[in-house]
Structure 1
Amino acid sequence: MPGGRLTQQERHRIAAGLTGGLSYAEIARRLGRPTSTISREVTRNGGPGGYRPQHAHEVTAQRARRSTPPPPRPDSADRPAADTLDEEIVELAVRSGMPRTTARVHIDLLMSEDGRRTAAELTRRLRLSPASVSVAVNFLVQNGYARRERDPQRRRDVYVIDDDAWYHSILISSRQTLEVAQTAITAADTLGHDSPAAQRLARGGTFLRQVVQDTMKSADHWRTLLS
């Protein structure tokens, strides 16, 4: 499977594949590239209906000239393979709605040996500003993806991902959705259940509430798998 940046010829083949109605997966297979590479390339450069290979090639070249190479990351004995895996997981997180910088911080924590990083380590490893790291880790902590510990000896915070993070993130997300469900049900009561809007809100709120309650019960039931 080829590595590195897409060539101009590959970009023309991507454009031809899109015109021919091929899926990202089929285009990737024909080029010997990961599907995430094709998806990212098209999304960044106009989408399926607006992709122009020459323009995409020029813009990517300009972006490469502005960027600097990332620092060496010694955590893995097989760094190229680990980098590819990191990128693919980051793309999945972004598609699920997580901000890209937050996703990068999350995956770097998740893929570390002991699941621990300081803010300074994240700043250095990911070449992010301290402010960007602060926003990202605050999001992760607030949503249960990580927790904050204090190192009393060095007087600094350490951000930690452990097995329980999966459980806590589900609980927090479920509680937030439960609030939405309850708000919809309350709005339906306020409008009066004779109106179509109220009935729609009541049905949607009841559905969400039931699904969330089932999810929370399931998380409690299967939590032993994390220990």
Structure 2
Amino acid sequence: MPGGRLTHQDRQSIAEGLAEGLTYTEIAGRLDRPISTITREVARNGGPGGYRAEQAQRATQGRARRRKPAPTPAPPTATDAHGRDPEAVHALEEQFTAMMAATGLPRMTARVLTCLYVTDSGSLTAAELVQRLQVSPASISKAVGELEQQELIRRERDPRRRRDRYVIDADAWFRGWMASARQNAMLADFTRQGAEVLGPSTPAGTRMQDIGHFFEHVGQAMIQAAEEWRQAHAARRTTHG
């Protein structure tokens, strides 16, 4: 497998592959490069939707002239006790982060969430997140605040180290989903009140009523689906426990 830095021609091939809708794995195979090389290259140069070969080449040359290479987070499984491939795990992290960012999460928030998911303990302190992601404590603080607000993670106090630990667990998405359902219920209530203010028989009032009915229906469906999942999940745990 060829080593060394990516060439301008390599970057043009990456841009062409992204334009064709190829996956990172397919692009890496086309160039006979590690998947992690492709994921890092795209991530640091605009992402899948903004990658441009010329811009990526100029940015790389600029970094080389400054002789200050951007810090690259160490692969989390470099000494993996489970025998996992560090390159594959790192590629998974990059792809998971990109997917979470595509749902609307800020990229740093998505990186923190991914970090917790791929860590076997599912639990990290702020200091561990800073070290792992090579970012500032302020960036971590903002990201975990957003994740706590959406109830995608929870905070636990470590009495031995007097530090907070941020935890991801099996119920994380359940809590986040239920938080979204509550927001839909609030929107339904608000739009019903808006319809009364505007007049239920007016065009604007009717529109607000329709919006309220939509959010009420979706919110109820979300709650029902989440409860059904929780019951099924509990049953599976009992069966396999």
Instruction: Pick the TM interval, shorter chain.
Output: 0.7 to 0.9
Cα distance change on mapping 1:71 and 1:25 into 2, 3 Å? closer
Q: Is the 8 A contact 1:185 1:201 kept in 2?
A: yes
Aligned with residue 196 of structure 2, among 189, 192, 208: 189
Cα distance change on mapping 1:194 and 1:114 into 2, 3 Å? same
Q: Which of structure 1's runs of 4+ aligned residues deviate more than 6 A?
A: 1-5
Give the whole-Å Cα distance in 2 for the aligned partners of 1:132 and 1:4.
32
Q: Is the 8 A contact 1:184 1:205 kept in 2?
A: yes
Give the whole-Å Cα distance in 2 for the aligned partners of 1:183 and 1:3.
59
Q: Is the 8 A contact 1:45 1:56 kept in 2?
A: no
* Percent of matched pairs sharing the same residue: 40
Q: Which residue of 2 aligns with 1:82?
A: 89
Residue pairs, 1:1-227, within 5 angstroms: 7-13=7-13, 23-25=20-22, 29=26, 32=29, 44=46, 53-62=53-62, 66-74=69-77, 76=80, 77-224=84-231, 225=233, 227=237
State the Cα distance separating 1:172 from its structure 2 match. 0.9
Cα distance change on mapping 1:196 and 1:47 into 2, 3 Å? same
Output one character per residue of 1:31-77: Cα deviation in whole Å (capped at 9) or x when no partner.
7467x95xx57x828957xx753233213443575512323534643
Unaligned runs of at least 5 residues, structure 2: none
Cα distance change on mapping 1:216 and 1:7 into 2, 3 Å? farther
Q: Is the 8 A contact 1:105 1:122 kept in 2?
A: yes
Deviates more, 1:74-83 or 1:216-225: 74-83
Question: SS state of the match for residue 24, structure 1?
Answer: coil
Q: Aligned residues, how many?
A: 221
Cα distance change on mapping 1:200 and 1:70 into 2, 3 Å? same
Cα distance change on mapping 1:68 and 1:16 into 2, 3 Å? closer
Cα distance change on mapping 1:95 and 1:26 into 2, 3 Å? closer
State the TM-score, normalizing by the size of structure 2: 0.76
Unaligned runs of at least 5 residues, structure 1: none
State the Cα distance separating 1:28 from its structure 2 match. 7.8
Paired AA for residue 152 in structure 1 = P
Question: SS state of the match for residue 22, structure 2?
Answer: helix
Give the whole-Å Cα distance in 2 for the aligned partners of 1:27 and 1:100.
18
Give the whole-Å Cα distance in 1 for the aligned partners of 2:215 and 2:155.
31
Paired AA for residue 8 in structure 2 = Q
State the TM-score, normalizing by the size of structure 1: 0.80
Question: SS state of the match for residue 194, structure 1?
Answer: coil
Question: SS state of the match for residue 25, structure 1?
Answer: coil
Paired AA for residue 134 in structure 1 = S
Paired AA for residue 72 in structure 2 = P
